[in-house]
Amino acid sequence: MILSTLKPADGSRKSTKRRGRGVGSGNGTTAGRGYNGQKSRTGSKHYSWFEGGQMPLQRRVPKRGFSNARFRQEFQIVNLKDINSLEETEITAEVLKRNGLIKKADMPVKILGVGDIEKSLTITADAFSSSAKDKIEKAGGKAVEL
């Protein structure tokens, strides 16, 4: 095999249309660019958000709202009805992760009061809703906040 003889397979490459090479080519005179204007000239760049000197949309529309994304604390949420089905009496983030109730043991966990709890459990979490705390203490357990 000689490298200088390599060429693409027949039919795999389409020949490029030679624009602006006479009237007979079908793309003579204006070469498919239309008539006068910025886009007919060579070297013209025109971005999709450019509005021809008009005040751009993102500057016309007033700014509104507030984002607290830098300081927001995201919790993994677990309901009491899910904890009720567990066998352990000491519930921590590791136990919840092992049983598939949360994805990461090192992220903060918040216990919500959806459902009832029948057992006396000691639950350790980063946050509790007030209804969850009440239900845990009524069942004889303890809600330990980290």
Q: How does pLDDT run across 108-118, given as a tens digit for each residue?
A: 999 999 999 98
Full set of structural domains in the chain with CATH: 76-145 (3.100.10.10)
* pTM of the model as a whole: 0.57
> What torsion do the CA atoms of 34, 35, 40, 41 make, to the nearest 10 degrees?
150
Q: How does pLDDT run across 75-125, given as a tens digit for each residue?
A: 999 999 999 989 999 999 999 999 999 999 999 999 999 999 988 999 999
H-helix or E-strand containing 97?
helix 93-98
18 Cβ neighbours under 8 A, 6+ residues apart? 25, 27
Angle at 123 between CA 119 and CA 125, to 5 degrees: 150
